[in-house]
A and B are shown apart, each in its own frame.
Chain A
Amino acid sequence: MVDVAVQPNRGVVAGSKRKRSSLQTAMKRKSTTAFLMTLPLIILIAVLVIYPAFYSLHLATLNKSMQRFVGLGNFEFLFKRETFWLVVKQSCIFAITAVIFKALIGFIVAHFVHNIPAKGQRKWRGMLLVPWVIPPAMSTLAWLWLFDPSYSAFNYTLAYFGVGPVPWTGDAAWARFSVILVNIWVGAPFFMIMYLAALKSVPDQLYEAAAIDGANWWQRIWYVTLPMMRNIIAITTLFSLIVTFANFDIVRILTAGGPLDHTHIFATWAFRVGIEGSDVPLGASVSLFMVPILAIAAVFILRDINKRGNES
């Protein structure tokens, strides 16, 4: 009984060859169905994402009227312009500062929500997520009105305390502060909701064990919460870094890049140059500078997701 498989090997091979053909047709039918089901997705990604991505590489090598190949001419031109370096600097400051504060505020608020009795959590969570739900273009209009040079409600309040008036969008430093503030306001709820989900997934026994081991609240956060949330913190931060870095709506509506280009970031400047200035190739060259940072973030996210995929 044990050696059944060894002896009649030839028969097995012959048999399997005969049916491989029909098995393959069955497999092929399944593959074809699956392929057809994904075909619209493939076409969409190929035509409207991958092709334009490469097309913008091509565009970046043309002159303004798009008739002449200028090689790296657009980039040389950019490198010589002060505004370009201003935009690079501002994009980095904008993205990094905003993401750090979003993450911090999200973490703190998530803890507060997690602290209160489960019954009331829904209500608070509901209120705190509102900034994320309102279309950013709409809420930025409200901020613009709050920052209005002559009727700013903030300045009215500050004047009450003898402070101000603050040039919220008129002065370079304040304008940068303002766009970052609005970005934090829009984005922090996303972090809060992700961290809250992560906090809920940490088993209570771990905290109880840590408490029995004599850990105070700070040690509990440092030794239990943070390590357990490391993955979600990393992936949320990277996601947010991409979105913030490529932000358009807030800066466009709040300052349109001003004053004197001091709040332009890649996306808004690319729009200014490419659409408003009708120099599509130069605009494309500007937006291409987002790619390296996006690529780095994407690689890290992908690595994290693959790692988790392997673990499960």
Chain B
Amino acid sequence: MSTIAIDKSAPNRKMKYGSMSRDRTWALRWSYFFLTLFAMFSLLPPLYMLVTSLKGSAEISAATNPWWVFSPTLSNYIEILTSNQFLRFFWNSAMVSIFVVTITMLISVPAAFALARMRFWGSATLATGVFLTYLIPETLLFLPLFKMFATFGEFTGIQLINKWYVLLIVYPTLTVPFCTWIMIGYFASIPKELDEAAIIDGATWIQTLTRIFIPVAFPGIIAATIFAFTVSWAQFLYPLVFTTSIDQLVLPVGIITTLIKGDVFAWGQIMTGALLGAAPPLIIYAFLMDYYIAGLTAGATKG
């Protein structure tokens, strides 16, 4: 009896497993199928940038298949990379981004440490305020800021509008709140005993920050740095409002205002410029993807 029962149940069970794994396989195939579709959708515009950037102007206006390059040429790249104007935009963007990242980290790291660890009067309100500031979009502030800087110029004679360094003043309003917010999250996740141990070891608050917290929260520092860089590099509205002279423009605005002349679109150069403009964030992303994603999710999940 018992041997029969076992014999009967064994193939049964096998079939069950078989159907389960067949289901799994199909689910997996469908997943890959749709992921491929979505990935194509995601990568289509950047790939098309690349395709176009390798075409000469004759091929661009020809009626051939736009998705393929029939006579690849680097002429667009040569033209862009030897144009003083474009190099100037690139330089301006780089200067602005590097300075803004530095300013942002200098402001937000100590502030985040104080808010996360040194409870003082109003610190909780301030932390909430930082978060609210992060929710205020730049499109709400550009007009009053523009007027403020204009008025400031009238009263002091220091003309800030139409100078690239005015961006160093306005960009931190976008980067500092978010960076402070995620650094508060990273610092708060460090066990309380660690700073108590440091205090007993004789460290001052500043030493605790520089010698314990910053090294321990280093992934957070990298995530915040990447964020600040990406935001400053990509910002479009503020430079569009605050700078107009060609030599003061940053990359995104520069490409759009100089390469689009009336109705004449130099698409080969525009795509090349756009691709080069997208390159720094993409390169950083390629190498530091995990930090990038950690920073992205930290904003909403920590706190």
Contact = CB atoms under 8 A, between A and B. Distances in A.
A86 interface: no
Interface residues on A, range: 35 or more
Contacts of B282: 130, 133-134
B145 to A, nearest CB: 5
A280 B146 contact: yes
Contacts of A48: 141, 145, 169-170, 172-173
B293 A141 contact: no
Contacts of A34: 114, 118, 120, 123, 205
A135 B143 CA distance: 23
Given A53-B140, A151-B66, A270-B143, A275 B241 contact: yes
Interface in A218-257: 232, 235-236, 239, 242-243, 245-249, 252-253
Interface in A67-114: 105, 108-109, 112-113
Interface string B200-244: 000001100000000000000000000000100110110011000
Nearest to A236: B300
Interface stretch (A6-14, A18-26, A282-290): A282-290
Interface stretch (B1-9, B81-89, B124-132): B124-132
A136 B135 CA distance: 19
A2 B289 CA distance: 61
Given A30-B120, A129-B293, A193-B297, A137 B256 contact: yes
Interface string B8-49: 000000000000000000011001101100110111111011
B196 to A, nearest CB: 14
A145 B141 contact: no
Interface residues of B, number: 95
Contacts of B271: 141-142, 145
Contacts of A30: 118, 120, 205
B297 A194 contact: yes
A173 interface: no
B140 A145 contact: no
Given A145-B271, A193-B293, A232-B300, A133 B285 contact: yes
Given A59-B147, A134-B46, A305-B303, A53 B136 contact: yes
A115 interface: yes
Contact of A302 (B60, B128, B139, B234): B128
A247 B236 CA distance: 11
Residue with the highest number of chain B CB atoms closer than 10 Å, among A38, A56, A298:
A38
Contacts of A274: 143, 146
The 4 A-B residue pairs with the shortest CB-CB distance in the complex, in nearest-first order: A135-B234, A246-B137, A267-B139, A52-B144
Given A193-B297, A253-B256, 18 more contacts: A35-B114, A44-B176, A45-B133, A45-B173, A55-B144, A55-B148, A109-B35, A115-B31, A127-B43, A134-B282, A137-B256, A145-B267, A146-B45, A153-B48, A235-B300, A290-B140, A294-B136, A298-B135
